[in-house]
Amino acid sequence: MDELIYTLKQQIIEALNLEDMKPEDIDENASLFGEGLGLDSIDALELIVMMEKNYGIKLQDPAKGKEIFKSVAVMADFIAKNRTK
């Protein structure tokens, strides 16, 4: 799981173009939106596409989506359970 969390942090940095951040700078339990990493709706769109491309996960249920993007750790857990590639 630790490896997946680290990879996921790298992919988030790349997808969102967070150039001055390193994976170590992201707390996997911190909120992705609002006060945590401070992401917004356009970033969410990029995360949706990133999960499709890299893990073959199609997110269709809006209510579920909000829960999945709670933190990197929650995302990693969801990916581990649902990935198709």
Partner 1 sequence: MANALQHNEWSGKTDGQPWMQRSLIVMFRVLPLWLPYGVMALVVPFYMIFNRKGYKSMYQFFRKRFGYDPWKSFWKVYANHFRFGQVILDRFCVYAGKKYRFITEGQELMDELETHPEGFVNLSSHVGNYEIAGYSLKPKSKRFNALVYAGETATVMENRQRMLSQNNMSMIPVKEDMSHLFTLNTAIDNGEIVSMPADRIYGSQKAAECMFFGEKARFPLGAFALAAQKNVAMLAVFVMKESYKTYHAYVRVIQCDRDAKIREQMSQLAQNFASNLEEIVKRYPTQWFNYFDFWKQ
Q: Considering the rule CB under 8 A, would residue 84 count as an interface residue with partner 1?
A: no
Q: How far apart are CA 34 and CA 69, in angstroms?
A: 12
Q: Which residue has the tokens 């990197």?
A: 72
Q: Considering the rule CB under 8 A, would residue 61 count as an interface residue with partner 1?
A: yes
Q: How far apart are CA 21 and CA 52, in angstroms?
A: 23
- Least distance in Å: CB of 64 to partner 1? 9
Q: What angle do CA 62, 67, 72 make, to 5 degrees?
A: 125
The residue (of 23 and 65) whose beta carbon lies closer to partner 1 is 65
Q: Considering the rule CB under 8 A, would residue 62 count as an interface residue with partner 1?
A: yes
Q: Considering the rule CB under 8 A, would residue 35 count as an interface residue with partner 1?
A: no
